[in-house]
Amino acid sequence: MAAKILVVDDEPSIVRLVKTTLEARGYAVIEAHDGIEALSEAKMYKPDLILLDIMMPHMDGREARKQLLEDDRTKNIPVIHLSAVGDFESQLKAVSDGITGYITKPFTPSDLAQQVADMLDPKKREQVMKEHGRKEDKLRAIVDIMHRDKK
């Protein structure tokens, strides 16, 4: 059975790119266009992975992620944030909030497909989770240095 992936983005062109990329690799793709719709689709379809934009109308990706974590039906679904915001502080916030992946727009279809495949493979996912802590430490150090330079 194909892995189900929920793609959440308010930009139709991004949804099309992600859907085309992932369906070509055999995944079943479910679409949502804001955080409210994402919550509903996640509860209904119980996807194996969620690709979640941060900046969206009605409910942003951070609030949607928070609500996903509060619901027993959705709290264990891994989430990769998609974001046009690539600054280190935003990435640190996402990683600190338990986001397992972070893809900055624009991205290449091959990079997207690789992150999705890694997150869905139990062995590679374990490695991703180990690197998650190291990434948080590196981002925290970068942000600390940036703040020191501003003083």
Here the CATH number for the domain that contains residue 64 is 3.40.50.2300
What domain range includes position 81?
4-150
pLDDT 10s digits, 64-82: 988 999 999 999 999 988 8
List, for the chain, all residue ranges whose pLDDT scores fall below the cut of 70. 85-100, 128-143, 146-147, 149-151
pLDDT for the residue 135: 63
In the sheet with 4-8, reading across from the earlier edge strand, the strands are 28-32, 4-8, 49-53, 79-83, 101-104
pLDDT for the residue 102: 74
How far apart (Å, rounded) are the C-alpha atoms in residues 20 and 109?
Answer: 9
Domain count along the chain: 1
pLDDT for the residue 100: 65
Percent above pLDDT 70 for the chain: 75
The pTM (predicted TM-score) of the whole model is: 0.81
